Structure 1
Amino acid sequence: MSESAVSSSFLARTMRRRSFFRVAGATVAASTLVLAGCADDPVAPDLSTPGTLNLGSGDIGVLNYAYLLEQLEAAFYQKVLDSPPTDFTPAELAAFTELRDHEVIHREFFKQVLGTSGIPTMTFDFTSISFTSRASVLAAARTFEDVGVAAYNGAGKLLTTKATLGQLSKIASVEARHAAFIRDLLQLSPFADVVETSGPFTGAATALTPAQVVEAIAKFTPFLVIIADLPTS
């Protein structure tokens, strides 16, 4: 894709970062009520066993699940920007900066909402990605964005409060735009492999369970993610 094509993409038409952070800050400040309906959740994250991460239960567990994914995506985009591929165009670099900013906002949203119920800042293993290669970086970005969207699609039914579902739905819509944008850079169909082609939900976006998502990101998480206490329906 040419630099001019990237520049005219939806990412280049989003609000400037300063305004975006200001709006996001207000959203986080106003979202402390999201967990109001989660007060009865019995299990917070369990960090007592080295090398494992127990996300907890109920809505808190589901939010920690989303928080982990946002940490992963934000860390990935930051690593790309720390040393971008030499064949990245200036427009692609600017777009990845916006992607990073979005993921940081999502990550900080969950951190603020969860407070002391949140998981800690995690460290990830990106050694399977060649950050000097545009193709490798874009392929990894596709994986993270596609898995992220499918994870949000599968998490909605696990929540018990409308406020929480509403906030996650807003983030999911942004992640879906990210996924489409990365596929556009790769000159791939925005629908192949991410839209169900059979069954009762034909035409709907793919949804993954937490177990499927944890398996998909396992090589990037040098710790065991425990999801046993998450709701299943």
Structure 2
Amino acid sequence: MDNKNTLLPANGNNSLPLPGMLGRRKFLSYMGLAATSATVLAACRKDKDDNNNMPPGSIDLGTGDIGILNYAYALEQLEAAFYTQVINSPFSGMTANEQSLLTDIRDHEIAHREFFKAALGAMAIKSLEVNFSSVNFGSRDSVLATSKAFEDLGVSAYNGAGQLIKDSNYLLLAGKIVSVEARHAALIRDLISNGSFADNTVIDMNGLDLASKPADVLTTASVFLKSKLYAGNLPTS
């Protein structure tokens, strides 16, 4: 069964945050990449940004692997903000089971967001301002449709970014996170329509998940952001 409520780019290829509980160092170890912060900062010193074409007031994601990590950090900020609002203002008729599941997703997204923030350190982009004016948080249909769109977009974003990552440690991190995002996507899809977790809007004829380029993902995500992101320095191959 096809589910047409999706934010995947059209040209895509067919209450206790964990960091606060563990502390920064232990949280990095928990994620299996305790050395990431130092590696990120060392790599950043080699990067040279070209911001000649950056629109005034935009936030530059950066270059190389650092730019890709900031790209992922931006998406995790967006998802964490969305699920935080979902839980803070439950939609009408939300069941205890739905609240529990959505709270788990919220906590995962907050953990992802805080991991990237800690790992990037001084090279992390600032906190983003979101715009959820198009979402009716009182409506189950609106919330779940937006949730599905975010999760599908997130999976395709990590899939598309994987080939751009040079450091194997970062690729390992992306693989760990995209697998969680895919679990979220499957759950939300089945809450909307049982059995729709892997329909042909996200899985191609070879049984592979879709992948989207950062530029396409950010164009789609910009609808939900007041902050303006500049991706002109991100790698393209």
TM (normalized to structure 2)? 0.82
Task: Return the match for 2:198 from 191, 202, 210.
Answer: 191
Q: CA deviation at 1:32?
A: 2.7
Q: CA deviation at 1:24?
A: 8.7
- Which AA in structure 2 matches 1:208? S
Alignment of 1:159-170 (within 5 A): 159-170=165-176
Secondary structure of the corresponding residue to residue 138 of structure 1: helix
Q: Distance in 2 between matches of 1:98 and 1:45?
A: 39
Q: CA deviation at 1:18?
A: 6.9
- Structure 2 gaps of 5+ residues are 1-15
Higher helix share: 1
Q: Are 2:233 and 1:229 equivalent residues in the alignment?
A: yes
Q: CA deviation at 1:51?
A: 3.6
Alignment of 1:1-233 (within 5 A): 22=22, 26-29=26-29, 30=34, 31-35=36-40, 38-39=43-44, 40-43=46-49, 51-187=57-193, 189-192=196-199, 193-197=201-205, 202-233=206-237
Q: Distance in 1 between matches of 2:66 and 2:92?
A: 41
Q: Distance in 1 between matches of 2:97 and 2:39?
A: 36
Aligned pairs, number: 213
Q: Is the 8 A contact 2:19 2:115 kept in 1?
A: no
* Structure with the larger RCO, 1 or 2 (CA within 8 Å, 6+ apart): 2
TM (normalized to structure 1)? 0.83
Q: Is the 8 A contact 2:63 2:235 kept in 1?
A: yes
Q: CA deviation at 1:137?
A: 0.3
- Which AA in structure 2 matches 1:112? A
Q: Deviations over 1:133-156 (max 9, x none)?
A: 011000000010000000000001
Q: Is the 8 A contact 1:196 1:204 kept in 2?
A: yes
Identity percentage over the alignment? Answer: 43
Q: Distance in 1 between matches of 2:86 and 2:56?
A: 29
Q: Distance in 2 between matches of 1:44 and 1:27?
A: 33
**Cα root mean square deviation, aligned:** 2.5
